[in-house]
Structure 1
Amino acid sequence: MTQDSDSKLEQSTDGPVTSDIVYPSAIPFVIVHLACFAAIWTGVTVEALAIGVGLYWLRIFAIGAGYHRYFSHRAYETSRVFQFILAAVSQTTAQKSVLWWAANHRDHHLHSDTELDVHSPRHFGFVYSHLGWIFARRHETTNFARVADLAQYPELMWLHRYELAPPFALALACFAAAGWPGLIVGFFWSTVAVYHATFSINSIAHVAGRRRYVTGDDSRNNWLLAVFTMGEGWHNNHHAFQSSARQGFRWWEYDPTFYLLKLLERLGVVWKLKRPTVEVVQNQHRLGTRVIRRAALQVAESFNAERIAAAVAAALGNSGLVDLRARLSQAQPFAAIEVFGELNLPHVPSKAEMVRRARSLLANSPSLEDIAAKAHELLLEAIGTRLATLAAQSAN
């Protein structure tokens, strides 16, 4: 393929990603889940249930409006005081620090659904993308270069150093308010529920749902997830315009996180909420080079380059294969298109076939022709590389 940074997509990681799990660090996570069963002995009170339900929705809002839309994507502006409040409430979810969360999420968008993604179901499996990645050794530390804009605040660095202080404080408050049921049902039940609602965006929202936009990854819109996550389920929308404070682009797309942000905007607590452009909402925007290439790679990989190369080699015979190898070796990069075009080989997909495949695999986009052209280029390059290998083998 090409020599640019996206060539990393073809590189394999050092061994199975799942073997990188740091099991001791997963023990507290397991304990939190097991603690939920203590309700068998503590009982479930109405007061504890009310606390649990209230904390679930409060912290789901904090994750969406805080960790995600503000700290990861800077989708709006706010004061330093409210910034700290958002960070502290977000960290009561026990999903590590605001700096760690934002750094990893920014990495996710930079490499979404490639082998460099921190949590891609396509490459690492559903369970790893849902929760396994959190305990991987390579994700233990925080990439401060990725969140330099946040690391400049001493109070956020304090929260980073003492990341468990907010959840411990909340757990004590729940115990003080409603005793053991308040701790077990109010705190632990709601914490586990927030865990898996949040994690579902990383896993389910990349395998189940509809894709309105071409984003170069597997992000999908899932209305059911949007209900449980206060609007985070419109994930394909989000990947199409990442800096938007609004993720439900259509009027009927339920996004209560955005509604509450609008209320806070009216109250002067937050301001400059970013919204998607009209072109994006209407799916009339031109795609960037990176998205075009990733989408093109997806289309190109839907063809079996090795099988096509074998069919071409069989049709050419040894002498024809050697001649083709010589012509390809003399051609400039990406000139394989011209060489194959001159030979008019029936086994090689045409540009028209590539357009049809792109239309069948991807959402509609004004850049679909560009994607198909790039996919054709990538496929022919892969076929040419394989044919060169076959020619060398036949010569020996």
Structure 2
Amino acid sequence: MTQQLIAPKSQPSTQPEAQPEEKLELSWVNIFVFASFHLIALTAPWFFSWSALGVAIFFHWLCGSIGICLAYHRILTHRSLEVPKWLERILVTCGALALQGGPIFWVAGHSLHHAHTEDNDRDPHSAKKGFWWSHMGWLMYKQDKYFDYDQYKKYAPRADRDPYYRWLNKNFILVQIALGLALLAIGGWSFVIYGIFVRVVTLWHCTWFVNSATHFWGYKNFECEDGSLNNWWVGILAYGEGWHNNHHFNPRVAKAGQRWWEIDVTWWAIQVLKSLGLAKKIVS
């Protein structure tokens, strides 16, 4: 039986302009980049060391839970809490290290997903187009309305007002290169393979499962107008983001897991920041 745990609130009001359906053209640059990262990650067994694995796990958490889930998602996109500006910029930089696009691009795409969930023309990764499309297929095509800065920036106006975020949106790859050089200097190619390629590829899929798997398999705590579901294994892999039905029912709530057993690792980080007096105006 469906159990309502929190009162519904209005959905985001982002309203992109209707555009005619475009004929999709493959983005060979994107395909090359994604394929290269996956192939290099597959060389990991020949570079294994326990310290390198530890580096991968640490940066997976730092870039995933702190960078994407906390900074990009709950702070920048939904404004579920506030932190000091200096700290926000540090956290957002961790998000840029996830190699999932700059902050303005990410916020704009996610805002459109919430405003037009499963709309084949306006949701960038609509699950109604199939698992493959929602998981990663949408990234393999040229779609200016989602990938051209001049078109998508209007869906992330707050982030776009920040000059540092505008710089980071254009230069997030430079931050990744800097990290790669640092890892090379500290631990050699083993650290680079695990700290960059293994970490980036596994984190990509953990994030993509939120777009795909949580619209195909799981359960509902709340009745929503879309097909969002709670998926326990995505909840674990994606640091709490897998409780997607909870999140879609009330996107601004800072805590994604609503039942006692719905583990939300990112919420734990928010609690730590709150105890240190660094997180305020937490939406509950």
The yes-or-no answer on 1:125 pairing with 2:130 is: yes
Aligned to 1:213: 222
- Whether the 8 Å contact between 2:103 and 2:169 is mirrored in structure 1 is yes
Question: Which AA in structure 1 matches 2:88?
Answer: Q
Deviation at 1:107, TM superposition (A): 0.4
Aligned-partner Cα distance in 2 for 1:26–1:141: 17
Deviation at 1:12, TM superposition (A): 8.2
The yes-or-no answer on 1:98 pairing with 2:103 is: yes
Q: Percent identity?
A: 31
Aligned to 2:153: 144
> What is the CA deviation profile of residues 144-189 of structure 1, one whole-angstrom value per residue up to 9, with x for unaligned ones?
1111111111111110121212211222222122111111122211
Aligned-partner Cα distance in 2 for 1:210–1:74: 26
Aligned-partner Cα distance in 1 for 2:48–2:283: 42
Aligned-partner Cα distance in 2 for 1:213–1:172: 46
Deviation at 1:40, TM superposition (A): 4.9
- Whether the 8 Å contact between 2:27 and 2:140 is mirrored in structure 1 is yes
What's the Cα RMSD here?
1.9
The yes-or-no answer on 1:60 pairing with 2:67 is: no
Aligned-partner Cα distance in 1 for 2:45–2:246: 42
Q: Calculate the TM-score normalised by the size of structure 1.
A: 0.63
> What is the CA deviation profile of residues 70-125 of structure 1, one whole-angstrom value per residue up to 9, with x for unaligned ones?
11111111111111111111111111101000000000001001222111121x22
Aligned-partner Cα distance in 1 for 2:255–2:25: 36
> What is the CA deviation profile of residues 211-244 of structure 1, one whole-angstrom value per residue up to 9, with x for unaligned ones?
2212211100011111111111100000000011
Aligned-partner Cα distance in 2 for 1:31–1:58: 23
Aligned to 2:259: 250
Q: Calculate the TM-score normalised by the size of structure 2.
A: 0.87
Question: Which AA in structure 1 matches 2:105?
Answer: W
- Whether the 8 Å contact between 1:21 and 1:132 is mirrored in structure 2 is no
Aligned to 1:334: none
Question: Which AA in structure 1 matches 2:37?
Answer: V
- Whether the 8 Å contact between 2:215 and 2:228 is mirrored in structure 1 is yes
Write the mapping of 1:63-212 to structure 2, written as runs, cut at 5 A.
63-115=68-120, 116-122=122-128, 124-138=129-143, 139-142=146-149, 143-212=152-221
Query: Bigger radius of gyration, 1 or 2?
Result: 1
Aligned-partner Cα distance in 2 for 1:48–1:167: 17
- Whether the 8 Å contact between 1:89 and 1:166 is mirrored in structure 2 is no
- Whether the 8 Å contact between 1:21 and 1:133 is mirrored in structure 2 is no
Aligned to 1:32: 37
For structure 2, list consecutive stretches of 5 or more residues without a partner in the other structure: 1-14
For structure 1, list consecutive stretches of 5 or more residues without a partner in the other structure: 1-5, 276-396
Deviation at 1:20, TM superposition (A): 3.4
Secondary structure of the equivalent of 2:30? helix
Aligned-partner Cα distance in 1 for 2:198–2:62: 14
Aligned to 2:54: 50
Aligned to 1:340: none
- Whether the 8 Å contact between 1:72 and 1:105 is mirrored in structure 2 is yes
Write the mapping of 1:264-343 to structure 2, written as runs, cut at 5 A.
264-275=273-284
Aligned to 2:10: none
Aligned to 1:20: 25
Deviation at 1:268, TM superposition (A): 1.7
Aligned-partner Cα distance in 2 for 1:269–1:134: 35
Question: Which AA in structure 2 matches 1:155?
Answer: Y
Moved more, 128-137 or 175-184: 128-137
Q: Which structure is higher in RCO with an 8 Å CA cutoff and minimum separation 6? A: 2
Aligned to 1:325: none
